[in-house]
Amino acid sequence: MNQNLLQTPIEYLKGVGPNRAETLKKELDIRTYRDLINFFPNRYLDKTGFYKIKDLQQNSSEVQVIGKIVHLKAIEQKRGQRLVADFIDETGKMELVWFRGHKWIRENIQLNTPYVIFGKSNFFNGTFSMPHPELEKLEDYKKSLRPAMQPIYPSTELLQKKGITNRVIMKLMQEVLQQTGLNFSESLNAELIGNLKLITKSEALFNIHFPKNQELLAKAQFRLKFEELFFIQLQLLRKNILHKQKIKGFNFDKIGENFNTFYKQHLPFELTGAQKNVIKEIRADLGSGAQMNRLLQGDVGSGKTIVALMSMFIALDNGFQACLMAPTEILSVQHYNGIIELCNNLKTSVYILTGSTKTSRRREIHQKLENGQIDILIGTHALLEDKVKFKNLGLAIIDEQHRFGVAQRAKLWNKNTTPPHVLVMTATPIPRTLAMSLYGDLDISVIDELPPGRKPIKTVHRFDSNRLKVFRFIKEEIEKGRQIYIVYPLIQESEKMDYKDLMDGYESIARAFPENQISIVHGQMKPADKDYEMDRFVCGETQIMVATTVIEVGVNVPNASVMIIESAERFGLSQLHQLRGRVGRGAEQSFCILMTSHKLSNDSKTRLETMTSTNDGFEIAEVDLKLRGPGDLMGTQQSGVLTLKIADIVKDNSILQTARNYANKILKEDPNLSMEKNTAIKQAYSRLVKNKTIWNYIS
C-alpha cells in the first residue's frame, strides 16, 4: 500500500480536526494514520452470543438478551425516581432500570416489540436486573453493520473530558481502515507466514480492531505479537552481529602460565560443570578476534569470582591488564580480599582503588598502572577517573552492572584505543524472557549450580506470635558457635519509623540475649562506625548482627548460619532472596526465618510461599516478574524499554522464544537482509529503525 498515506497527519482524518488531534497527540502519542492503526484495544465486549434469561449467571458479567418490554413503572426513592421495566423472553423475566433519562425512555420505548439489550446483569432478591442497558430494536439490529466483538480501547481522564469516548475511537478506526482500503503491505517473508500459519497483515489489522469471532481475534493477536517481538529480536541480534564485525577485540590466543598454574595447583575446589562451561564460552570469545560482550548470570554463592579471576588470567597470559569494577566499597573490598586469597601463592600483582584510598597510595597506583606493574586493579567508580590510565587494559569486568550509568561504562571503554573485552556479572537472576529483551544484544552465560558441599538453606515462615520459639532456636545455634543476622526493613519515606523499629528490635534482642555481644548497623551511621561494627561481626567478636538492608550486598561471613528477616511481608522477592544469600556460605546447615504479622495480602502470601518452596534464584525471578511486571523489576531507568504495543513479555514468553529463534535463523542465512525473499522484512525493519519504533536498548 502507499506508505505516504499512512504518514498522513491525524488531523486530516474525517472526524478529528486540530483540537482532537492535539489531544490524541498529547494523551496517546497518535500523530499519523499509522499510529492510530497501531493503537490496539486492551479488551473486547463479546456480542457474538445471546443469553436466555433462565441461563443468566450470578457473576455480574456483560450479557446480550433478546426479549420484549411488557410494562414500565416509576418507583419513588430518597432522591427522585427510578424507572423500572419488566423485560421477558420465552424462558423468564428480568428488570431493566434507569436512574436518569426517563423522559427519553418513556417517549421512545415501544412495548411488546422485540429488542436486543446489552449490559451488566445484577442479581438481587432472587431477580436479575440490568441498569441503563444498551437498547436496539431487533429489526434495526439485524440491518446494522457492526463488530460482534466490540473493541474497548485504553483511555485517560482528559480523553473522556474532551468527548473522545470509546465510540468516537471506534468511528475513527472504521474511517481510517476504509481510507486505507485494508490493503497493508506485508512485513514478513512467505516462509515465516507459511511455517507459523499466520494470517496476512491486512487480516490481522482488521481483526484486531473489529474481530468477527474469538478464533479470528486469537489469530490476529498471535500474528501482531509475533511481529512486534520478532523485529525487536531482529534488531538486538543484528546489533550483536554488527558489533562483532565492527569492533575488533584483542585476540587472546594463548592460555599460559597464570591460567594453567592456578588451574592445576591452586584451585581451592573442583569447578562445577556450569563454571567449566562458562569459562569455555569466555575463552572462545576472547580468542575470536571480536570484542567480547558477555553477561554472566549466577545466583548468590554460585562461584562467579573464580570465573572472573580465571578470565583475568587469560588477559594476563596474553600480556594485558584486567580490572574489576563493583558498585560499592564493601563489594570491592570483598572482591579484593577474595582474589588476594586465591592469588596467595602466585606472582600476580593485585591492587584496590576506591573513594577512600589515601592520596599518596593513589599516586603510587596511578604510576604503577601506567608502567604495567599492576596486573589486576579492583575498585569502585574511582576506576573511571581520568587520572586512572592503564598501560594496556585487555579485560574489564563489571559487577552488578545495572547500578552503573551508560556514560560511566563508556568511560571504561575509552581507556584504550582498542576497547577492552567486557564481562558483565550479576547476582540478580534475570528471567530468560527479560534477559532476551533487555540484554538481547549481549551473549549470555549462566552458572546454574552451586559448588559441591553447599547445603541448601532451609527457609521457614513464622508469625510474630511464635517469637519465643524462634529465640530458643537462636540460643541453640549460638551455643553451637554460629552467628545470626536479624534484618529490619528500610522504607525511605518513614526513616524515623524504621529507625524506631530497628532500635525497638535491638532492645528486645539485647534483653533476650544478655550474655551475647550484638552489632548494630544502619544507614544513618557514619561509614567508619559501620565498618567497625561489620568488622567485629566478621571477626566473630559479636554473635548477633542487627541491621537494616545495608547488608543485602557484600558481607561474607561463612560462620553466620541464621538469617532472620523481620516484617518479611514488606520486602520484595529479589530482596528476600539476596538477604537469604548472606547465609549458607559455610559447610554447616543454614536457616532463613521469615517473620510476619498475621495480616498478609495475597501477593505477600505468594512471595512467602515462593521463598519457602525454592532456593532457585531464576524460579524466584520468574515469580517476581509475574507479580511486579517488567518495568518495576528493572527499575525506572530501564522501564521505557518495555512499553510494547501488544505483546507482553511475561505472558507471551513462548512467542518471544519463537520470534528469537526465527530472527536468529534468518540472520544466520542472510545477515544483511539482502536476499530477495527478505525484501519485505528489510523494508519494515528499516522503517521501524528510522522511526525509532524499535528502542535502542542499552546493555
Rounded Cα gap, residues 173 and 454, in angstroms: 60
Q: Is residue 380 part of a domain?
A: yes
Quote the cell numbers at residue 560.
553466620
CATH label of the domain that carries residue 395: 3.40.50.300
> DSSP for 487-502?
E----GGGHHHHHHHH
Q: Is residue 113 part of a domain?
A: yes
Task: For Cα atoms 266, 272, 278, give the angle at the middle one, nearest 5 degrees.
Answer: 95
Q: Is the pLDDT of residue 95 over 90?
A: yes
CB 46 within 8 A of CB 214: yes
Q: Say if residue 367 is in the same domain as residue 480.
A: no
Quote the cell numbers at residue 160.
473522556
Q: Is residue 239 part of a domain?
A: no
Average pLDDT, the chain: 85
Question: How are beta strands 149-152 and 43-46 bridged, if at all?
Answer: antiparallel
Q: Say if residue 263 is in the same domain as residue 354.
A: yes
Listed residue (235, 230, 228) closest to 699, CA to CA: 235
3-state helix, strand, coil in the chain (%, to 5): 45, 20, 35
**Residues ≥6 apart with Cβ < 8 Å to 46:** 62, 148, 149, 214
| Segment 309-354, tens digit of pLDDT | 999 999 999 999 999 998 888 788 888 988 998 898 888 999 999 9
| Segment 279-309, tens digit of pLDDT | 999 999 999 888 888 889 887 778 888 999 9
Strand partners, 67: 115
Domain-terminating residue out of 575, 595, 614: 614
* Residue 647 pLDDT grade (very low, low, confident, very high; cuts 50, 70, 90): confident
| Segment 415-461, tens digit of pLDDT | 777 789 999 888 777 776 677 666 666 788 888 887 777 788 999 99
Q: Which helix (H) or strand (E) holds 691?
A: none
CATH label of the domain that carries residue 141: 2.40.50.140
Q: Say if residue 503 is in the same domain as residue 376.
A: no
pLDDT for the residue 643: 64
pLDDT for the residue 698: 33
Q: Say if residue 378 is in the same domain as residue 515.
A: no
**Residues ≥6 apart with Cβ < 8 Å to 560:** 482, 483, 484, 485, 537, 545, 582, 583, 585, 590
Q: Say if residue 422 is in the same domain as residue 466.
A: no
Share of the chain above pLDDT 90, in %: 43
Longest dimension (CA), the chain: 99
pTM exceeds cut of 0.85: no
Q: Say if residue 486 is in the same domain as residue 527.
A: yes
Q: Is residue 650 part of a domain?
A: no
Q: Say if residue 532 is in the same domain as residue 579.
A: yes
Listed residue (459, 400, 452) closest to 583, CA to CA: 459
**Cα dist. 535→135, 338, 487, 499 in Å?**
76, 16, 17, 22
Rounded Cα gap, residues 284 and 290, in angstroms: 10
483-487 β-sheet, strand order: 458-463, 591-596, 560-565, 483-487, 544-547, 518-521
Q: Is residue 661 part of a domain?
A: no
Q: Is residue 244 part of a domain?
A: no
Q: Is residue 638 part of a domain?
A: no
Strand partners, 9: 32
Count CB neighbours of 414 within 10 A.
10
Domain-terminating residue out of 146, 161, 182: 146
Domain-terminating residue out of 99, 127, 146: 146
Q: Say if residue 481 is in the same domain as residue 412.
A: no
Q: Say if residue 407 is in the same domain as residue 506.
A: no
CB 159 within 8 A of CB 27: yes
> DSSP for 438-494?
HSTTSEEEEE-SPPTTPPPPEEEEEEGGGHHHHHHHHHHHHHTT-EEEEE----GGG
CB 373 within 8 A of CB 346: no
The count of domains in the chain is 3
Which of the pair, 682 or 524, is modelled with greater confidence? 682
Q: Give start and end residues of each alpha helix (H) in 255-358.
A: 257-261, 273-286, 304-317, 329-342
* Residue 7 pLDDT grade (very low, low, confident, very high; cuts 50, 70, 90): confident
Q: Say if residue 389 is in the same domain as residue 525.
A: no
* Residue 402 pLDDT grade (very low, low, confident, very high; cuts 50, 70, 90): low
Residue 264 sits in which domain range?
257-286+303-426
Q: Name the residue with cell 502519542.
A: 29
Going by the DSSP 8-state scheme, the letter that residue 268 receives in this structure is S
Q: Say if residue 282 is in the same domain as residue 422.
A: yes
The distance from CA 372 to its chain's CA centroid, rounded to whole angstroms, is 41
Rounded Cα gap, residues 611 and 219, in angstroms: 38
Q: Is residue 573 part of a domain?
A: yes
Q: Say if residue 269 is in the same domain as residue 418.
A: yes
| Segment 482-510, tens digit of pLDDT | 999 999 886 544 566 666 678 888 898 99
For 124, the 3-state DSSP assignment is strand
